[in-house]
Structure 1
Amino acid sequence: MQNHRPDTQEPELQRSLSNRHIQLIAIGGAIGTGLFMGSGKTISLAGPSIIFVYMIIGFMLFFVMRAMGELLLSNLKYKSFIDFSADLLGPMAGYFTGWTYWFCWIVTGIADVIAISGYTHFWFPDIPLWLPAIGCVALLLSLNLITVKMFGELEFWFAMIKIVAICALVCTGLYMVTTAFQSPTGNSASLANLWNDGGMFPHGLMGFFAGFQIAVFAFVGIELVGTTAAETKNPERNLPRAINSIPLRIIMFYVFALIAILAVTPWRDVVADKSPFVELFMLAGLPAAAGIINFVVLTSAASSANSGVFSTSRMLFGLAMDGDAPSKFKNLSSRAVPSNGLIFSCICLLAGALVIYVVPNLMEAFTLITTVSATLFMFVWTMILLSYLAYRKKRDHLHRASKYKMPGGKFMVWVCLTFFVFILTLLALEDDTRQALYMVPVWFVVLGLGYRTVLRNKQEAADLACQTD
């Protein structure tokens, strides 16, 4: 989409992110707050079969990431998936994908800001809830304005904290299983806990399907590695490395962590509204567990909000370059950071502080917001897959020459698309998630009206150019 732009005249994002940054950004994107906080609810719904839920979602999203990787590497002038969707599916697709992805991260960021306020309350119960929300946004804005490398460093350390916490949980669980640890309720830590209470599917198929609704939100941000493409050193080497390690990460961080929790705490004893991570460390006799995990979950939410601030500003930059957003978002600071986009996205994130005022029940607001976010992310993943189908039809010579072909090709694209339809059907079955689904079409109506204005402005600009010629 950007191949018509003369490099000498247009602002350029700098390739400042190293392989170390890209690997950890990809890991941070794959480990969402949903794993730390949402896994209690998913275990209570699906029992031990939740392990398969995470494996299936991770398996499907791996193919979405591989399709994205092949497309980005087929033309290094593609800066993100807005570019290839606009190039392969048309300008309207680029407009809808870019603005929807921007909105995805704003909505997710609002959810994270709400979560951060709640976690901060653990240590400072007397401060007003809106104060940490504003403080977090101000801090992320100031750090992201410095350099692109600062974003990479922030994500690197945020992701490291998450990895250390999960590795500690897996090691603690393994130790408790090998020593046949006895809990105060008389249960022994054993792998047999996975299947000796009603089997792997204690609530049948419907319980298994119910787990998908919340688990899908844990994976939002997995495509973040695609928005860093324009700022990645040596993308031909670093992008495939980051994408190829996704299956291993999902097994390591999701599957092993859930096996450790379920082996130590039988699934019936897992409390839906508490973090099973905290409960396991408490069982192990670590009284500081609540404070430590609260810190981990706080950094996890801050990491997600930081990713949102980064990616939304880059999306606004890309949209402005294509004339789909106000031209002021094209401006880069002296440090090659899209500062206007950053400031605008952070102002929108402050809506999180407003939501805390408006909605009395934080958990209700969080469920509503995360479902809207997951649904919109599925739209973006679908656009990546549809772009791949168009690429195979229009640029088959590039596919044949590709050194990083998507495994399964068109067949796996259709499998993934069918899977997303299945998830949407499940979201429509539950009352709390169905409300969020009703809100999604409103966004697309607003976008459609906005696109008409954009077309009119582009036409006026073209007419003016003709007159001056």
Structure 2
Amino acid sequence: MAQQELKRDLANRHVQLIAIGGTIGTGLFLGSGKAIQLAGPSIILAYLIVGLGLFFVMRALGELLLSKAGYLSFTDIAQDYLGPRAAFITGWTYWFCWIVTAMADIIAVGVYVQYWFDIPQWVPAIICLIILLGLNLLSVKLFGELEFWFALIKVITILALIVVGVILLVIGFETNAGRVTVENLWEHGGMFPNGISGFLLSLQLVVFAFVGMELVGVSAAETSNPEKNIPSAINKIPLRILFFYVGALIILLSINPWTELNAAESPFVKTFSLVGIPIAAGIINFVVLTAAASAGNSGMFSTSRMLYNLSNNNQAPASFSKLNKNHVPSNGLWVSTLVVSVGALLSKLLPEQAFGIVTSISAICFIWVWSVILLSHLKYIKTCPELHAKSKFKAPLTPFINYAVLAMFAVILIIMLIADETRPALLLTPIWFILLYALYSSRKKKEESGNIDISIESLMK
């Protein structure tokens, strides 16, 4: 029988590349097309603002994770500082976050495959999901290796894009859309061509682009040296945001005007098509396809680990805490895969709207998770000042920055309520939280009444 403990098989290079992979995914390669259409060149500012806010969320998470040995994820942190109800809701919400995000990723795989083959989106989506399931069942070390190479492909691609873009800028290259020049950033309606409203409406898509940044925290239980690896990965986030997001977008919008980009296409693929290098465009399409697969891979990893953690805390069926011979929570993987497959069905029923629906729901749920991290950190500062004082990885500008980022999240949710496209998702998502609240209350009532069988299985009978 396999030992019921996760193995610490993720080395520093795995953690570093998981952190990079978590910040470069479908949201940038596909979702940025629609964000650019909404905000124009001001999308660069949107990525800067949201990225900076999430860096402070990660610093708060890093300090909390290292403040006590034995923390497996932020649900353990929420348990200590916000109580078991918050931990229950947050753990299941994070699982749901990645389920929905993985749906978006496999939908994106279907979109990218259609670049070469005229087949239904759901077919390559299902094939991708089956492959990822098989690979994740093998070992966490294999997951780390997959993410290492997936992320490396993304890094090399963006680096190549920036280098090629700089060369085109220097020589004043002529594309199908005109001359490559930095002036393209402001010559087509200014930096805010759709006004402040377009800029604000893009923030939800920008939030989705950053989902996965907190994977460093989820991987803490399987990291060989968390005291060194976690701070190292988190501290490099600002440089990654400047380089991979801001740098890449400046080059993209300099090579071709924002008006030339289609919201339904990857701006990366479109850019190389405009440059007149169709083979390169095909290569880039393959790269963004691997980026979507990488993000889906991260989703499979995180959902199975969250179910494992919930099960160990008696907040999910006991079967989810069982590991296979490779020390992988296989039951959680199977269940998560089956639920994610709904994404393929969604892409079959609503091929045009599916991606927008799931990204909106994902953004809302991730805002909840990130807010819980900030609130836990505020409680930690108040109740454990001695731990905060001696922390070797103290979060900067606290508690002011915690409140500032929470205010930013509140503004984004208000914008989503106002916008016609995102309002349905915002109004429907609370149903999830109501169900979790009711389920926890029922569980708590059974416990207080003296019923020793308080497992989730007993509630589902």
**Under a length normalisation based on structure 2, what TM-score does the superposition of the two structures give?**
0.94
- Give distance in 1, aligned partners of 2:436 and 2:371: 17
Of 178, 183, 198, the match for 1:192: 183
Q: Which residue of 2 aligns with 1:144?
A: 136
Answering whether residue 278 of structure 2 is matched by residue 287 of structure 1, we say: yes
Q: Is residue 391 from structure 1 mapped to residue 383 from structure 2 by the alignment? A: no
Q: Give me the whole-angstrom Cα distance separating, in 1, the residues matched to 2:114 and 2:144.
A: 28
- TM-score norm. by structure 1 comes to 0.93
Tell me the equivalent position of 2:146.
Answer: 154
Which whole-Å CA distance do the structure 1 matches of 2:335 and 2:364 have between them?
Answer: 23
Structure 1 residues 460, 158: CA separation in 2 closer, same or farther (over 3 Å shift)?
farther
Does the aligned pair in 2 maintain the 1:324–1:454 contact within 8 Å? Answer: no
Q: CA deviation at 1:324?
A: 0.5
Counterpart for residue 369 of structure 1 = 358
- Aligned-partner Cα distance in 2 for 1:224–1:418: 23
Between the aligned partners of 1:130 and 1:211, the Cα distance in structure 2 is 27
Matched, 1:435 2:424: yes
CA contact (8 A) 1:172 1:284 kept: no
Aligned pair partner of 2:94 in 101, 107, 110: 101
Once residues 302 and 269 of structure 1 are traced to their aligned partners in structure 2, the CA distance between those partners, rounded to angstroms, is 27
Kindly indicate whether residue 49 of structure 2 is the aligned counterpart of residue 56 of structure 1: yes
Deviation (angstroms), 1:243: 0.3
| Match of residue 355 from structure 1 | 346
Summarize the alignment of residues 13-28 of structure 1 with structure 2, pairs less than 5 Å apart. 13-28=6-21
Report what 1:425 is aligned to: 414
Look up the equivalent residue of 1:15 and give its one-letter code: R
Which deviations, in whole Å up to 9, do the C-alpha atoms of 1:186-213 show, x marking residues without a partner?
x321222223344322333222212212
Deviations 1:220-250 (A, max 9, x none): 1111111000000110100000000000000
| Structure 1 contact 44–267 (Cα < 8 Å) conserved | yes
Q: Tell me, yes or no, if structure 1 residue 181 matches structure 2 residue 170.
A: no
- Counterpart position of 2:59: 66
Aligned structure 1 segments of 4 or more residues deviating by more than 6 angstroms? none
Shift of 1:20: 0.4
1:133 aligns with 2:151: no
Tell me how far 1:460 sits from its aligned partner: 6.9
Question: Once the 2 structures are TM-superposed, how far is the Cα of residue 154 of structure 1 from its aligned partner?
Answer: 0.8
Question: Hey, what's the Cα distance between the residues in 2 that align with 1:214 and 1:464?
Answer: 43
1:300 to 284, 291, 297: 291
Aligned AA (1:168): A
Tell me the distance in 2 between the aligned counterparts of 1:124 and 1:197.
34
Counterpart position of 2:39: 46
Identity of aligned residues (%): 52
Is 1:229 aligned with 2:202? no
Is this contact kept in 1: 2:109–2:124, CA < 8 A? yes
Tell me the SS of whatever aligns to 2:58: helix
Q: What corresponds to 1:167 in structure 2?
A: 159
Count of equivalent residues:
453
Partner of 2:209: 218
- Preserved contact between residue 36 and residue 297 of structure 1 (Cα < 8 Å): yes
Quote the offset at 1:98 in angstroms: 0.3
2:114 and 2:374 mapped to 1: Cα distance? 41
Within 1, Cα distance between the matches of 2:438 and 2:332? 22
Q: Deviations over 1:142-166 (max 9, x none)?
A: 1111111011011111111111111
Give, as a single letter, the amino acid of the residue that structure 1 aligns with 2:324: S
Pairing 1:36–2:29 present:
yes
Q: Deviation of residue 267 (structure 1)? A: 2.4
After alignment, is 10-19 or 311-320 more displaced? 10-19
Does the CA-based 8 Å contact 2:73-2:218 persist in structure 1?
yes
Partners of 1:228 and 1:125 in 2: how far apart? 38
Question: Partners of 1:420 and 1:320 in 2: how far apart?
Answer: 30
Corresponding letter in the other structure for 2:80: D
Contact 1:54 1:255 in 2 (8 A): yes
| 1:338 shift after superposition | 1.1
8 Å Cα contact 1:181-1:188 kept in structure 2: yes
Q: Tell me the CA shift for residue 432 of structure 1.
A: 1.4
1:164 aligned partner, one-letter code: I
In structure 2, runs of 5+ residues without a counterpart are: 455-461
Distance in 2 (CA, whole Å) between partners of 1:441 and 1:184 is 46
Q: Matched residues in 2 for 1:43 and 1:197: separation?
A: 13
For the 8 Å contact 1:323–1:458, the answer to whether it is kept is no
1:316-331 correspondence runs (5 A): 316-331=307-322
* Partner amino acid, structure 1, of 2:385: D
Structure 1 residue 363, shift from structure 2 partner: 2.6
Which of the numbers 427, 432, 440 marks the counterpart of 1:451? 440
Q: Conserved in 1, the CA contact under 8 Å of 2:102 and 2:340?
A: yes
Shift, 1:459, TM fit: 4.8
